[in-house]
Amino acid sequence: MREENCIFCKIANGGIPSVTLYEDEDFRVILDLGPATRGHALLLPKEHYKDLFELEDEVAQKVLVRAKRIAGRMKDALGADGMNLVQNNGEAAGQTVFHFHMHLIPRYKDDRAGILWKPGETTPEEMEEIKRLVDSQ
């Protein structure tokens, strides 16, 4: 399924030109227009899924295999020191384009990209409560 008004459907299927690092029958990997670091790319399925929770299992499996292969190639080619794979679901999680995508973000020593979080605090009681809630689903 492709969505008429979805920009990533258009880009993934070639309707809008993009700088493409990889393409096969299911996916396209493009450079992000607002990169966090040099080489920040997005892995887009050609079919429309709003987010992770809509993704078919078969596509979900392929996502990680593709991400692994392309991120490795990018890391070597760009001389990156590390790589973040980031995937946002829902506005609260920072998703701004509602077509599933995986960010492939090369990291360079001292690049200062603001991707990681400051550790918070928890308690054993809270951890048990979280476990109970998830187990009861």
Least Cβ distance, residue 76 to ligand 5GP (angstroms): 22
Q: Which does 95 bind (CB under 5 to 8 A by kind): Zn ion, ligand 5GP, none?
A: ligand 5GP
Tokens of 113: 């990209």
Ranges within 27-46 binding ligand 5GP (CB under 6 A): 30, 32-34, 42
Is residue 111 a contact point for ligand 5GP (CB under 6 A)? Answer: no
Could you tell me the CA-to-CA distances from 126 to 1, 82, 87, 108 in Å, in that order?
Answer: 41, 33, 26, 36
Alpha helices for 3-123 (secondary structure H): 7-12, 57-78
- Longest distance between any two alpha carbons in the chain, whole Å: 52
- Binding residues vs Zn ion (CB under 5 A): 3, 6, 8-9, 48, 99
Tell me which residues are annotated as active site: 101
